[in-house]
Amino acid sequence: MKPNSKTNTHVEPVMNVDRNMLVVPQAVDLEEAVLGAMMIDVKAIDEVLLIIKSPEVFFKSEHFLVFEAIQQLHSDNSPIDLLTVSAKLRSNGVLEKVGGDFYLIQLTQKISSSAHSEYHARLLIQFWVKRQMIKNSAENMSAAYDPETDIFDLIDNASLKLDNLVAQTNTGGADITMKEALKAIKKRVELLSSKKEEEISGVFTGFKKVDLITGGWQLSDLIIIAARPGMGKTALVLRGMLENVVRNIPVGFISCEMSTLQLVTRMVACASHFHLSQLFRTGFSKKKYFEQLLDLEDRMSKYPAYFDDHSKELLDVVAKIRLWHRKHGVKIVIIDYLQLMSFSGLKKTGNREQEISTITRTLKGLAKELNIPIILLSQLSRELEKRGNKRPVLSDLRESGAIEQDADVVAFIYRPSYYNIEPDDELLSMGANTEFIIAKHRNGSLDRKGLYFDENKTKFMDPEDVDAANRADEELHAAADKFEGLSPSQAFAGYGSEVSSNNDDMPF
């Protein structure tokens, strides 16, 4: 039954064009020109294959088969011309299906030059994207009408399809000449030379001394931060996340291990003087603490921080990062952690090392494509525990070959006290109890810096900030009077809302 128009529950779409008259986006003449050029000019082959990655770009089925044959010849390092393409089609058993040698000859005769092959290939990509959009829209519509469809699966699938199309349109970028590169270097040096001492060229690591070594985490870099369990990997990157979102720099955090609630609770501990146990287990006994928590809620709720605690599959992670970058403009992404990620696209014959290699290579490519740093946390091998010297080295990375190869920066966290080892004199003289070791730095020097880890708050700090933090703790505790006969909900009275076990507005 058609809904009553007076209720405004249904609006008929307005179409100015008869859908029966619509033509599927295509350009057969351009397809003929591209294929003909590839069979008469080697230069056209290189130009086109940088842009068109799949035979599916071709609308006409015969052209699909011809391009597929050309791709096969290219991957085999075989020469490509009219005769070799004909022979390949014959061995594939499809020569007659495409129209035989006569049709191939026609293709080569329809083009006199390969001068515009790159431009023609880009036009074909546009037509293909339009066809894919039509196909995806139809599939999304069909799924939306299905009452069994989960709405979140529908959104994720639609987003993934769109992001895959965006990735296809980013292929075959223009080359940069030496002259253009030198101009870019000159401009960068000018900016670096004019910046103030506390300014950085990347995004904040969260620690002043680390920022001095790296200039901050740099755009397009894949940064691996590795340690044994319990060393504080998550705590360290949350401190960096906090330093950026405080400055209104959007950050995305994909957690394969902790829930969003756990992560935000740790961020509250990092941004405050609360012990983690107060936020997780014991609660508060003083009204002043409730006041500070309300103040934190007011400030932190405005931070551009985005969390995902369910994506572990590589393609889901990539889709989410692209979505955040497009929708929220995220400037840095943190993934916790590598060994919990998976890639279902790998053939069954592939082993875990190949899977890890695919994950790190894909994330490095994504960082470069979106021009943002991606921080990937990683576990270290148990073999480290068997050594007398527990300080990590590159070979301690699990499945280390691919990780070390793809990363621009590899850093380790080492807390000697974790193994009941006394920190060395250099570390103690700095007031530090943790080593942050930069073991690989593609565009900079290797170094070791001291940090301070507060176990009660699961919080890293620069050593020079510890005394000020301790004084602030003492002042807060001295000023906080116990509330007697006062319930937690009454402690929040006058601040706009009461505490409730089902209050969805509370982030922790």
Please compute, for residue 323, the number of CA atoms within 13 A of its CA located in the half-sphere on the CB side.
19
Instruction: Check residue 483 and report its DSSP letter.
Output: P
Contacts of 280 (CB under 8 A, 6+ apart): 265
CA distance 251 to 372: 10
Using the 8-state DSSP alphabet, how is residue 175 labeled? P
Residue among 31, 118, 198, 257 flagged as catalytic: 257
Helices (H) and strands (E) in the chain, counts: 19, 9
Q: Which residues pair with 286 in a beta bridge?
A: 482
- Rounded Cα gap, residues 480 and 454, in angstroms: 22
353 is catalytic: no
Q: If we measure between CA atoms, which residue out of 212, 206, 275 comes closest to residue 247?
A: 206
Backbone phi and psi for residue 472, each to the nearest 5 degrees, phi listed first: -65, -35
C-alpha–C-alpha distance, residues 387 and 391, integer Å: 9
Cβ-based burial of 225 (10 A; exposed 0-12, middle 13-18, buried ≥19): buried
464-472, Cβ contacts within 8 angstroms, sequence gap of 24 or more:
464/431, 466/431, 469/273, 472/273
375 backbone dihedrals φ, ψ, rounded to 5°: -100, 125
* Residues 110, 39: Cα–Cα separation, whole Å: 12
C-alpha 418: how far from chain center: 31
CA distance 388 to 74: 53
Catalytic residues: 257
